[in-house]
Chains A and B, each alone.
Chain A
Amino acid sequence: MSKFYTEDNNQIRKLWTFSGGIHIPDNKAQSLTRPAGKAEMPQRLVIPLQQHIGAPNEPLVAVGDKVLKGQMIGQSQGFVSAPVHASTSGTVVDIGDHPVAHPSALPGPCIVIEPDKEDKWADLPPPMEYYATWDKRDIRNRIRESGIVGMGGASFPTSVKLSPPEGQQDIQSLIINGAECEPFITSDDVLMQNHAERIINGAAIMNYLLDAKECLIAIEDNKPEAIEVMKKAVAATEKLDNAHVVVIPTLYPSGSEKQLIYILTGKEVPQGGLPSQVGVVVQNVSTAAAVSDAVLEGKPLISRLVTLTGEGIKEPQNLEVLLGTQVEELVPQVGGYTNQASKLIMGGPMMGFSMRSDAIPVGKANNCVLVPSLDEIPNPENISACIRCLRCVDACPMGLVPQNMYWHVQSKALDKAKENNLFDCVECGCCSHVCPSRIPLVQFFRSAKAANLQLDRDQQKKERARERAEARNERLEKIAAEKKAKMEAKKAAMKKKKEAAAALKKEQEEQAAAKPAADTNEESTGSEGQDG
């Protein structure tokens, strides 16, 4: 891991190179040949209730309800969560499971809205134009209520990321991620070229919230136009005087959070740790723009830029899409499919997942719909045995030894795989890409992680069951003990009574015998004390 230098406002800035990574054809030109457009009002909106990592949302509306654009329709009380909003006005026609863009290909709960085409806004919260006069808590709350999540693919609630835990609040660098290192995707590029101001405003707001020492806007050097525009915007703004546009070399996966932090700061986020642990917060450029909309205009996150590209699409283009619009309604707007269309991939080729049907909605983190030809993305070839060529080791940006992890995963030695730091794998796919034996390494790692989590969950379940059983036993024991105590108390009372009766009898006898009664009385008191 070596250092190198880049120019930054005629100054030299030090950058770091992580080991590994791969150079792949970026294929970004095709979707940039046409200017970005706006998608038409769809016939139907299928809004997934769960578009974030964290606690699941509950619907706030019922079938038949009329909703307005920007109205909150799903929410959760959990801290790590983000509500969802109606992307336009209309009627709720269904609430239930629908196919969603998720790697598991399992359907998820969605709210289906039939738009009334009036596109009528709900009452929005007041703009916080002078946000510096607002309480930071209110701003964070606004960001949370606006449903903003990491739009680069992570879908982690943004408000949570902007609230670093106690002891990690000394933020050195706020990194605005415009690297966009996955091939084919250009939505962030287009956003930077056309909406630099929104990004800068959003960055300024987050900068204010975090009180960061510097704000670094990182862009890969294959996007010269975006770099130019962003540099100008940074120079023009007065809101963000600690910002720098940093041009980084094009290398996949430079846009991955941990790698980007390393490139810019030389800091390594420890395993299982948060970036704030090393004094860094990373936000995607799209997220920054959404923060700007939410804080300055009160608008929740209801639309995003999506790249529709690949040789399977007639007229590749970027579209501003209402969240919940289904891919099948978008494709005709970019000329439809060509007869070369071979697959449907949500996201980029490296980390995206291929879907069976195009009847799936665009969600907050879906930046790309890729329909490649077989030339662009051939079908998988036959797998052969690992020849230990170490290409995967050379390519892994996390310093892992994928071939060994694969070996352990394959022989079901999950513990060994974990010892080989399976959980550090960021699933970037570099190893699979370079493997000459065509072993789908990352796929093995994904499944192994899932299986391991399931194992952990089962273990937890067992643990919980055991705890519950123990608690129950304890409770029962307690009840039994109480019962026993009661019984004994009763017995004691009986005995006392008996004794008292006996004493009385004795007394009477003694009285009858005309003897001093004080001794027996004392005795009786003593026995009472003992039993009590």
Chain B
Amino acid sequence: MQFPTITSPHTSRPNSVQKAMLWVILALIPGTLAMIWFFGWGILINMVLAITTAIACEALVMKLRGREIKPVIMDLSAILTAMLFAVAVPPLLPWWLTVLGVAFAILLVKQAYGGLGYNVFNPAMAAYVLLLISYPVQMTSWLPPMMLNENPMGLLQTLNVIFGGALPGSLTWDAVTMATPLDTMRTGLSLNQTVSEISSNPILGQFGGKGWEVVAGLYLLGGGFMLYKKAISWHIPVSTLGGLAVMALLFNILDGDAYPLSSFHIFSGAAMLGAFFIATDPVSAPGTRKGQIYYGAGIGILVYIIRTWGGYPDAIAFSVLLMNMAAPTIEFFTRPRTFGHRGSGND
């Protein structure tokens, strides 16, 4: 009898790239729904817009390269990039900025480097930073969470704002937007208020900001799900949150009035999202487990430094990009010891 020949190992293999991405996307959903709940339709509209743009860009590149479109879109990585971008940007971001950002992420940061697996930088974060530097006003105009929002907008009104730039009625941008909890903390501290004084501000909640902390909690839940599904390993999220928490703890011990608690930092801004969903992008992280721990810790520490002394209120994107740059070096110095090469250092 004749048989086809294939190479070993001959096993039914677990977890494909697609499945791993699917778990990540599923894990992202609860937090995303909470974002929509607290911050309105804008998040959903951004998401649809971002995903559409991402797919269109991937299709375009594949077409230009003369390759099949479907498998590349089906690996879900572009969709994930789009989703991460959409939950990171303000809900009322003008449509063309979302399109610009996602197109930049997919076309330049990802595909120009050779596609999935070759990008040096995290595409969603690179796009975020590009927009933040170029359009700082639009990129920092956040809405208040639902319970503090005196002028909630419907779907149509939101569409109008995003696509037409027109606020409903007599509203002004100042009336619509509100500082984020991180902004509030920052501004308060710069006015020499104490942490506990600032905490009485209605925008601040139990740990972080109202609404924000729920979203962060759901991201944490999603992170746990991904760990359980082995879609990510613990190294990067634990070290990222650990780095941030330890820094916050040290300074909090030093001066509790001037430096908020670790829990505030972890549950504010994009820390949880960053630790579980953004920093864990394996492509732009170092290729060793030990290296990933240093990498994560580096991100956590940088986030703290930039939040506390830097020019921007949140710092996940900057920290991730900075550590992306350090990734190859970290990898080089943390190569595992090969079995049987005792005492011969890194090789």
Contact = CB atoms under 8 A, between A and B. Distances in A.
Interface of A: 18-19, 24, 105, 183, 258, 262, 268-271, 273, 328, 331, 337, 341-345, 349-358, 370, 372, 375-382, 384-391, 393-394, 397-401, 403-404, 419, 421, 424, 429, 432-438, 440, 442-443
Interface string B230-266: 0001000000000000000000000000000000000
Given A270-B342, A385-B117, A390-B288, A433 B75 contact: no
B119 to A, nearest CB: 10
B347 interface: yes
B6 A379 contact: yes
B3 A342 contact: yes
Given A356-B3, A356-B5, A387-B17, 14 more contacts: A183-B11, A343-B10, A353-B8, A357-B2, A385-B115, A387-B283, A389-B20, A399-B339, A424-B341, A429-B11, A432-B9, A436-B17, A437-B16, A443-B7
B287 A385 contact: no
B10 A393 contact: no
A314 to B, nearest CB: 14
A183 B7 CA distance: 16
B9 A387 contact: no
26 contacts: A258-B340, A268-B340, A341-B1, A351-B8, A351-B9, A354-B3, A356-B4, A377-B11, A380-B6, A382-B71, A384-B75, A389-B20, A389-B282, A390-B287, A390-B289, A398-B338, A398-B340, A400-B336, A401-B336, A419-B347, A421-B347, A424-B338, A433-B9, A436-B20, A438-B13, A442-B7
Which of A388, A399, A438: most chain B Cβ within 10 A?
A: A388
Contacts of A384: 17, 71, 75, 116-117
B335 interface: yes
Nearest to A430: B9
Contacts of B292: 390
A344 B71 CA distance: 30
A378 B10 CA distance: 8
A54 to B, nearest CB: 23
A173 to B, nearest CB: 17
B341 A401 contact: no
A437 B75 CA distance: 10
Contacts of B12: 375-378
B229 interface: no
A268 B338 CA distance: 10
B63 interface: no
Interface in B292-306: 292
Contacts of A433: 9, 11, 13
B287 A343 contact: no
A421 B17 contact: no
B10 A424 contact: no
A495 to B, nearest CB: 69
A268 B339 contact: yes
Nearest to B342: A268
A24 B292 CA distance: 27
Contacts of B342: 268, 270
A19 B16 CA distance: 23
B216 interface: no
Contact of B289 (A269, A355, A394): A394
A344 B3 contact: yes
Interface of B: 1-17, 19-20, 71, 75, 77, 114-118, 233, 282-283, 285, 287-289, 292, 335-342, 347
A275 to B, nearest CB: 11
User: 10 closest pairs, A vs B, by CB?
Assistant: A385-B117, A429-B9, A349-B10, A344-B3, A443-B7, A398-B339, A354-B5, A377-B10, A350-B9, A389-B282
Contacts of B6: 343, 354, 379-380
Contacts, number: 172
A121 B86 CA distance: 81
A414 to B, nearest CB: 16
A368 to B, nearest CB: 12
Contacts of B118: 385
A270 B116 contact: no
A350 B11 contact: yes
Contacts of A393: 287-289, 336
A interface, over-half SS = loop
Contacts of B233: 390, 394
Nearest to A105: B5
A409 to B, nearest CB: 14
A380 B11 CA distance: 9
Contact of A271 (B117, B282, B289, B341): B341
Contacts of A105: 5
Contacts of A437: 16-17, 117
Contacts of B14: 434
A433 B7 CA distance: 12
Contacts of B19: 436
A380 B17 CA distance: 14
A377 B6 CA distance: 11
Contacts of B288: 390, 393, 401
Given A358-B1, A419-B347, A352 B8 contact: yes
B289 A400 contact: no
Nearest to B115: A385
A226 B340 CA distance: 31
B8 A258 contact: no
A328 B1 contact: yes
B347 A349 contact: no
A356 to B, nearest CB: 5
Contacts of A397: 339
A401 B347 CA distance: 11
A49 to B, nearest CB: 24
A384 B68 CA distance: 13
Nearest to A425: B338
Given A357-B1, A358-B1, A424 B282 contact: no
Contacts of A386: 117
Which of B8, B115, B340: most chain A Cβ within 10 A?
A: B8
Nearest to A271: B340
A180 to B, nearest CB: 16
Nearest to A400: B338
Contacts of B341: 270-271, 399, 421, 424
A388 B287 contact: yes
Contacts of A394: 233, 289
Contacts of A269: 340
A399 B288 CA distance: 11
Given A384-B75, A388-B283, A399 B336 contact: yes
Nearest to B12: A378
B287 A387 contact: no
Given A399-B336, A436-B20, A437-B17, A354 B10 contact: yes
Nearest to B292: A390
B10 to A, nearest CB: 4
A417 to B, nearest CB: 13
A452 to B, nearest CB: 17
A115 B149 CA distance: 93
Contacts of B5: 105, 343, 354-356
B116 A385 contact: yes
A448 to B, nearest CB: 14
Nearest to B77: A387
A88 B12 CA distance: 40
Contacts of A349: 8-11
Given A105-B5, A354-B5, A443-B7, A436 B340 contact: no
B281 to A, nearest CB: 9
